Structure 1
Amino acid sequence: MNDLDAARRALQERQGLGARYDAPEAPAADLRLARLGTAYFARKLGELGDAALYAPSRVSGRTRAHVICDVAYQARAISRQVEAATAGEPVPPFYDGEAGRIGDIELGATLPARALRHLFDHAAVHLNVVWRDLPGSGWDVPAADAGGALRPLRATAMERARRLWRGALELDNGTRLRDLPPEFRD
């Protein structure tokens, strides 16, 4: 048993009956990176004042609001796929085409600051809930990634982790490359 397994067992003992947990087949280490990334991104977002959300990001031609929307909409896309797998329904494509994704981000970047913050928060919580409720066999359901290539849903945890940590860097408000986990420093 490793430290993560021991921590998970201790948490389950503290929470008692009725609490819900990730399936044993879930990619625990990848989910941990994604959840740490969610907390880190949320902290960096919280450090920004409302006006600063519309300032340029580290990505040329994109504001921080664009980065926030991109991160939030990725969570929504993964959530749709996981919900379909949980319900035994056909898994939808990740996005409805690149043009639609870009259009959604452009439109979302015009939201008021409070709405942008809520968008991120809600998308992150919703994704965490659907991941937690995904049955063990669901983690191996094939689904298309953002580029259209098939991968098992278990890959979404690492995709999400990468997007969150890279997104924190793109916000350009103090995150350094060395602050990212080694897996995402490329």
Structure 2
Amino acid sequence: MTTGTPARSLRWMAEGHAYFLSHLKAVGDEELRGSSRLPGWSGRHLLSHVGHNAKALGRLAHWAATGEPTPMYPSPDARAEEIESGAAWPVPRLRAFVEAEHDRLAAALDRLTDPKWDAQVVTAQGRTVPARTIPWLRSREVWIHACDLPSGGDFSAFPEDFADALIEDALTRRRTAQGLRLQVRATDRDRRTDDSPAVVEGSAADLARWLTGRGTSVRLHTTTGAPLPELPPWL
């Protein structure tokens, strides 16, 4: 059994939240009423999602702490319903909501003792994972969605160790869900995703951006000359 606080993921989570807020503060209320960088979502939809995601992960933290099963969402449709409902709130309320719910989640995780980090919880996708996974799940949300804000952040600002972990996670998801068979190699790292020959090459930032469905770069290419597959947004 692996015990102990997942310090690295908690660091990513705190840094990602600060990064998200720094870009959120640079976006005016009127701009948030318009489109985000995610197709079909306004800035208010994005804020509603980020806030409700923290609230949902807080339920998993409660599950780990108490042993009382508290799923992220009470029904398969609840996630979408929460996002849509929150998107109708005034922007100032959404700004405050994002901060308050993240702070509640951070406080709940801070109260977990070492044995509780190994408690098994179930994600919204039905995966059973240890509670130590919760900070990683939140880290992905705040870093990636900072880049979805209007005039938001960029993957090039991600910490190197986080970007590397994100590439591995996203590639695993793409292989599982979509049968993506391509290997990748980050040209600014001395490493590959596995022992197979690299097929898609580019910087870690460009690979992470592409694998999460946030677009490609002219610097990203396949070693065979074949066009890059178009990937839909993930998260």
- Scaled by the length of structure 1, what TM-score is found? 0.82
**2:37 corresponding residue in structure 1:** 58
| Cα separation, 2, equivalents of 1:180 and 1:45 | 16
Aligned length in residues: 162
Structure number with greater CO (CA < 8 Å, separation at least 6) is 1
Instruction: Go from structure 1 to structure 2 and tell me whether the alpha carbon gap of 1:167 and 1:174 turns closer, same or farther (over 3 Å shift).
Output: closer
Report if the CA contact (8 A) 2:48-2:86 is conserved. Answer: yes
SS in 1 for 2:151: coil
Task: Measure how far apart 1:177 and its partner are.
Answer: 2.4
* Structure 1 unmatched runs, 5+: 1-23
**1:129 corresponding residue in structure 2:** 107
1:160 aligns with 2:138: yes
RMSD of equivalent CA atoms: 1.4
Report if the CA contact (8 A) 2:16-2:143 is conserved. Answer: yes
| Cα separation, 1, equivalents of 2:29 and 2:86 | 15
1:46 aligns with 2:53: no
**2:119 corresponding residue in structure 1:** 141
Report if the CA contact (8 A) 2:34-2:43 is conserved. Answer: yes
Cα deviation, 1:115-136, whole Å, max 9, x if unaligned, reads 0011001001101110111111
**1:9 corresponding residue in structure 2:** none
> 1:39 corresponds to which letter in structure 2?
A
1:175 aligns with 2:153: yes
**1:30 corresponding residue in structure 2:** 9
More helix by share: 1
| Cα separation, 1, equivalents of 2:46 and 2:69 | 26
Cα deviation, 1:113-166, whole Å, max 9, x if unaligned, reads 110011001001101110111111111111111201110110011111001111
Pick from 87, 104, 110: which aligns with 2:82? 104
Task: Measure how far apart 1:97 and its partner are.
Answer: 2.8
Report if the CA contact (8 A) 1:94-1:148 is conserved. Answer: no
Task: Measure how far apart 1:47 and its partner are.
Answer: 0.9
Task: Measure how far apart 1:85 and its partner are.
Answer: 2.5
| Cα separation, 2, equivalents of 1:150 and 1:54 | 36
* Structure 2 unmatched runs, 5+: 167-207, 212-235
| Cα separation, 2, equivalents of 1:129 and 1:150 | 23
Report if the CA contact (8 A) 1:139-1:153 is conserved. Answer: yes
> 1:66 corresponds to which letter in structure 2?
H
Q: Which has the larger radius of gyration?
A: 2
Report if the CA contact (8 A) 2:35-2:43 is conserved. Answer: yes
| Cα separation, 2, equivalents of 1:69 and 1:178 | 25
Which structure 1 residue ranges, 4+ long, deviate > 3 Å from structure 2? Answer: none
> 1:38 corresponds to which letter in structure 2?
H
Task: Measure how far apart 1:99 and its partner are.
Answer: 1.5
